[in-house]
Chain A
C-alpha cells in the first residue's frame, strides 16, 4: 500500500479496567471503502472514534492524511475538518435548520463568509438529495433524511476520509435504502470510507475490504467474498452465520 490515508498502529484503549482495543493496526488506502464488522463490544466504534480522537487512545499511533493525530502540537480542530463522521443517532443540532446544521462548521471552523457557506451547504444538501429541505428543522425530517443531512454536514467540509458509525442502525427498515444510496454515491465519487455497520448486503456490493474485529483485535480481514464465504476463523464464521440468519 503506497502512503495510506489512515494509518493506525498498535492502538490500545482502556476504559478503566476494561481493555477495549488490544493493539489494533489498520491502514486504509485512498479511495478505499473498508467495512468493519464484529460482535457488539468488539471495539469497532471505539476504533473509529480513536481515529478522530473523539476517544483518546491509551497508546499507539494514528496518522490521518499525513497528520499525526496524537501529537500534542497538532491542531486537532483543524485536523478534524479532514475527517467526517456520521453517527448512529444522527446528532443533528435540533435548534437549527438543515442548512444551519451544514453551514455551522463551514462558518466557524473553515471561516467561510455566510453567503459562501450557504452556497456550499446548499450544494452538500443537493448531493444527499435534500436541497428542498434546507429550511426544515430536524424534527420535521424523517430519520433517513436526518441521517442524510448529517452526511451533508460532514461532506460539506470536503473531508479526506469519512467515518460511519452504524449509520443505519437507528433507522426504520424502509428508510435504510436512501442512506445507503447516498453512501454508494459518495463511494463512487472517490471518497475514502470506513464503515462500521451490519449492512452485509452493502458490504458485499460496495466494500473493498472487510475487517472482522473480536474482543479488541482485528481477527481477520480481506475482500468481502473471502470474509463472507471462506472465513479462516471459527469466530468469524459463527458471527457471519448469525448476522445472515438474523
Chain B
C-alpha cells in the first residue's frame, strides 16, 4: 500500500462504500427503533417524574419517604444495571419483558427519578409569596400549584431537564446488551458480519443526525426560557 495516502487507507477501512450500502437498511431500521425507544422514554419518564413531584408537594410524610427512596435508588444505579435486572431478573417472577420493554422501562425509571428531582427543585424555588398571594385570593392548593407555581417552576427546570433528557436518551444504546435492534446493535452486528467498522461510522452518523438537532434545540430553549424576573 505504498501508493495509498493515510486518508485513503482510513476511508477504505472506516468509510467503505460497498459495506455501507449493504448495511444501510439495517442501520435505518435501527434508527427507527432508537427513535421509538427514545420518544417512549422521554414522554413516560418526564410524565412520571412530574407526577411524582406533584405528589411530593402534597407533603404526606410516608409517601414522601417512599418517593425519595425510589428516586434516590434510580439515581444511583447505573442504567445498564437496571436494564439487566429487569431483563434477566423479572422472568424469575414469571414476567418476561422483551429487550425493548426492559430498556424502555429502565431508562424511563431513571429519567423519572432525575426529572422528579429537577421538577421538585423548580417547585420549591418558587417564592413563598406566590403561594400566599394566590391562596389569599381564594385559589385552592391544587389551583395554585397548577396555575401559579408550576408554570414558573417548569421554566426554571427546562435547561437542566433538557440536558438530563439528552443524556438518558443516548442510553438507548445500552439496549444492545439485551438484544434490542437499535442503532448501535445493528451497527455492531453489521460490523462483525462484514469484518469492517464502516457500519459503526454509519451508526455514529445516525446518532449525530438524531441528537444534534435535539442538543441545538435544547440550547435554543435554554436561552428562550431564561427570563428575567
Q: Give A contacts to B, CB under 8 Å.
A: 52, 54, 77-81, 83-85, 87, 89, 91-95, 104-105, 108-110, 139, 150, 153-154, 157
Contact = CB atoms under 8 A, between A and B. Distances in A.
B81 interface: no
B130 A93 contact: yes
B129 A87 contact: yes
B133 interface: yes
Interface of B: 127, 129-130, 132-140, 143, 147-148, 151-152, 155, 227-229
A91 B126 CA distance: 11
Q: Chain B interface mostly helix, strand, loop or mixed?
A: helix
Contacts of A108: 139, 143, 147
A94 to B, nearest CB: 5
Given A54-B135, A77-B135, 6 more contacts: A77-B138, A91-B133, A94-B229, A95-B155, A139-B229, A154-B137
Contacts of B138: 77-81, 105, 109-110, 157
B132 A87 contact: yes
A77 B132 contact: no
Q: 5 nearest interchain CB pairs?
A: A91-B133, A105-B137, A91-B129, A109-B138, A85-B136
A87 B139 CA distance: 16
Contacts of B147: 104, 108
B129 to A, nearest CB: 4
Contacts of B130: 91, 93
Contacts of A157: 137-138
Contacts of A92: 133
Contacts of B132: 54, 85, 87, 91
Nearest to A49: B132
Contact of B137 (A80, A89, A95, A139): A80
A80 B136 contact: yes
A153 B137 contact: yes
Given A54-B135, A87-B133, A94-B229, A77 B140 contact: yes
Contacts of A52: 136
B137 A109 contact: yes
A11 to B, nearest CB: 18
Contacts of B155: 95
Contacts of A153: 133, 137
B98 to A, nearest CB: 42
29 contacts: A54-B132, A54-B136, A77-B140, A78-B138, A79-B138, A80-B135, A80-B137, A81-B137, A83-B136, A84-B136, A84-B137, A85-B132, A87-B132, A87-B133, A91-B132, A93-B130, A93-B134, A93-B152, A94-B229, A95-B151, A104-B137, A104-B139, A104-B148, A105-B138, A105-B139, A108-B147, A109-B143, A154-B137, A157-B138
